Amino acid sequence: MKGYYKNILYMILVIACVICVAAGLASCASKANNPAANKPIPQTNPAPENTESQAPAPDEESLIGFYPMKAGNVWEYEGEGMEYASYVQEVLFDSGNKHQLAIDNGGTVTANVIEERKDSIVNTYRSEEAYDKINILGEPGNINIILLQTPLEKGNFWISEENHYEIADTEADVTVPAGEFKGCIAVKVTFKDQTSNMMYYYKKGIGMVQSEFRTDTGDLIASKLKRYMLK
């Protein structure tokens, strides 16, 4: 059972830049008169503007703020409910839209690759007992866990590896040893066995600030952000 909980805790990972495009264009035409003929100069009516093409493009939702994956960033979590709930997470390598994390819970070190996509953050690779800090960003993916997906709206849900993910709240307030964080995104994961679930709380600009795993017997295992160092 302890190994089961430990594997669940490996899913805890703490994320596409905001692109704002705006366009505006105005044109004017001047009128002139011919004083000698005292006749107006004929004018050609301008073609109607294509307002659709000139309309500002809607802002794209950014997820990277919820997963600030820059090499050197470190998060330390204080655990409750079991020994492996405490761990340290560090970003070791990054290249383009891929980032390598090391999670050390005192019992083992797990290597994970996180990939930023246009509308989602995905855990694409995982390897246990990764004690050597070797760059594995080029390894082919062995998992496909969608951790967060747009739109960031309450009720949005997706299925990933047979588990049900849903945005349960977009304005959650969470107090952990590292402080009080308001306006967090809360994601609820209901596992395919339908007997256990997990809640993740993400704060933009910080990452994951808390996770809660509820067992089938009602026991609660939590990991709460204790301290962090972001570059």
List, for residues 181-194, the tens digit of each pLDDT value. 999 999 999 999 88
Among 70, 60, 63, residue whose Cα is nearest residue 16: 63
The token duo for 210 is 């808390």
User: How much is the pLDDT for 144?
Assistant: 96
Instruction: Dig out the tokens for 20 from the structure.
Output: 């704002």
Mean pLDDT of all residues belonging to the chain:
81
* Tokens standing for residue 68: 């600030």
Residue 106, classed as helix, strand or coil, is: coil
| Class of CATH domain 2-10+62-229 | mainly beta
User: In whole angstroms, what is the distance from residue 150 CA to residue 122 CA?
Assistant: 12
Q: How confident is the model at residue 60 (pLDDT cuts 50, 70, 90)?
A: low
Q: What share of the chain is helix, strand, coil (3-state, %, to 5)?
A: 10, 45, 50
- Over residues 82-102, mean pLDDT: 96
- 42 prior amide bond cis, ω within 30: no
Pair of tokens at residue 115: 């990939």
% of residues, the chain, pLDDT over 70: 73
User: What is the maximal distance between C-alpha atoms in the chain?
Assistant: 100
pLDDT for the residue 194: 84
With cut-offs at 50, 70 and 90, classify the pLDDT of residue 216.
Answer: confident
3-state secondary structure of 69: coil
**Whole-number percent of the chain with pLDDT over 90:** 68
Question: What is the spatial distance between Cα 213 and Cα 202, in angstroms, rounded to a whole number?
Answer: 15
Tokens, residue 175: 């107090």
